[in-house]
Amino acid sequence: MIKFLDLNKINARYEDVFLSRFKTFLDSGYYIKGSEVKQFEKQFAAYCGAQYCIGVGNGLDALMLIFKAYIDLGKLNKGDEVIVPANTYIASILSIINTGLKPVFVEPDEATFNIDPSEIEKHISVRTKVILAVHLYGQLADMTAINAIAKIHNLLVVEDAAQAHGALSISEGKKAGNLSHAAAFSFYPTKNLGALGDAGAVTTNDTELAHYILLLHNYGSSKKYVNETIGVNSRLDELQAAFLNVKLHDLDEDNKVRQGIAKRYLDGITNTKIKLPFYDLSANHVFHVFVIRVQNREDFIDYLNKKQIGYLIHYPIAPHHQKALLPFKSLYLPLTEAIHETVVSIPMSPVMTTDEIETIVNALNLY
Ligand SMILES: *Cc1c(COP(=O)(O)O)cnc(C)c1O
């Protein structure tokens, strides 16, 4: 059986150093917002090329803290519209709704699965205030076009970078997390940079926003028992920060391995029943997942099961067809719906063996 993703194998690489960091953590007696969180915030900001990084509880909180901060700072008002790709993971949309903003669903570009800039323009109204760009599946959204549209219409741009740690735009010379006004990261265990539990971060170059989120995420307080605003508790856990500090060193190397596997899949899989994803061979795609499309998905999945090849579907139900998003049910989003009906993600991780990769290539060619 080839697993879709072997999280144990990914983290087993660090067993000794994790155990030693845990012992240091245990002995320190300092379990919340200690030196590991500080170090991670500094390291991750530098890694992204952003001025600020604030560690938070998870990726959804990172997005919500950005929106809440903009509302509190007077840059957004409740009810303002946020343009969001219709085919994103539902968390992007929940962050908008949970902060009292209104999502406006926009169809993707079929080649990249990312939001289609020409569709964005058609959905801009007088109430549009933000574009939430999602770097879906690990590939950067077209930030040059998105930022240009935002500039014309005086909009904020926020990145949902939960799937794209380390993705680099060659044309901009910048990484995910530094391509907009503010970015949200998740370090959920399956992400390219994954903790051993929940974790997230906000990156930004906006001093006012950074300082305000620093308050918000910790009870509205920067000085113990002095509360300046109505905050929440969404802190990056000290122990998760310790693990992330270790793993950040290997992120670029892991992403290169992912790109190498993607290239092998793209070169090796020649079956015309399988539609392969677009990849321009640049560093702008870090292959959080490798998503193919097939017309008869049920039949294909039966075949994968028979061949003992793991898979997942990102995602089986379009957000506007989820029960949770009933008010959006009647939206006409044919491309998004077609994508949700035909996508399958095949194994992709930095710890796959050459044997596993070749077994998958051969099996898919024989389908
Ligand atoms: C994982 C993910 C999130 C949410 O991250 P959590 O840490 O699970 O809250 C948000 N957006 C996208 C695109 C994601 O993939």
Would you call 157 helix, strand, or coil by DSSP?
A: strand
pLDDT tens sequence across 243-274? 999 999 999 999 999 999 999 999 999 999 99
**Model pTM greater than 0.95?**
yes
- Rounded to whole angstroms, what are the CA distances from 247 to 11, 40, 202, 277, 317? 9, 11, 18, 28, 32
Residues 6+ apart with CB under 8 A from 145: 117
Beta bridge pairs of residue 108:
115
In order along its 367 residues, the chain shows pLDDT tens digits of 999 999 999 999 999 999 999 999 999 999 999 999 999 999 999 999 999 999 999 999 999 999 999 999 999 999 999 999 999 999 999 999 999 999 999 999 999 999 999 999 999 999 999 999 999 999 999 999 999 999 999 999 999 999 999 999 999 999 999 999 999 999 999 999 999 999 999 999 999 999 999 999 999 999 989 999 999 999 999 999 999 999 999 999 999 999 999 999 999 999 999 999 999 999 999 999 999 999 999 999 999 999 999 999 999 999 999 999 999 999 999 999 999 999 999 999 999 999 999 999 999 999 9
The pLDDT score that the predictor gives to residue 82 is: 98
Residue among 182, 257, 186 nearest 13 (CA): 257
Q: How many CA atoms lie within 13 A of 296 on its CB side?
A: 8
CA of 170 to the centre of ligand 1 (A): 25
185, amino acid identity: F
The pLDDT score that the predictor gives to residue 150 is: 98
Q: Crossing angle of helices 59-72/207-216, nearest 10°?
A: 110
CA of 120 to the centre of ligand 1 (A): 22
CA of 29 to the centre of ligand 1 (A): 31
Would you call 200 helix, strand, or coil by DSSP?
A: strand
The pLDDT score that the predictor gives to residue 28 is: 95
With the most atoms of ligand 1 within 8 angstroms of its CB, the residue from 87, 90, 92 to mutate is: 92
The pLDDT score that the predictor gives to residue 118 is: 96
Q: Which atom of ligand 1 is nearest to the CA of 188?
A: 7
Q: Which atom of ligand 1 is nearest to the CA of 91?
A: 10
Q: CB–CB of 115/133 below 8 Å?
A: yes
CA separation for the pair 48, 101 (Å, rounded): 28
The pLDDT score that the predictor gives to residue 342 is: 98
Q: Crossing angle of helices 90-98/59-72, nearest 10°?
A: 30
pLDDT tens sequence across 39-77? 999 999 999 999 999 999 999 999 999 999 999 999 999
CA separation for the pair 81, 128 (Å, rounded): 4
Instruction: Count other Cβ atoms within 10 Å, centred on residue 230.
Output: 11
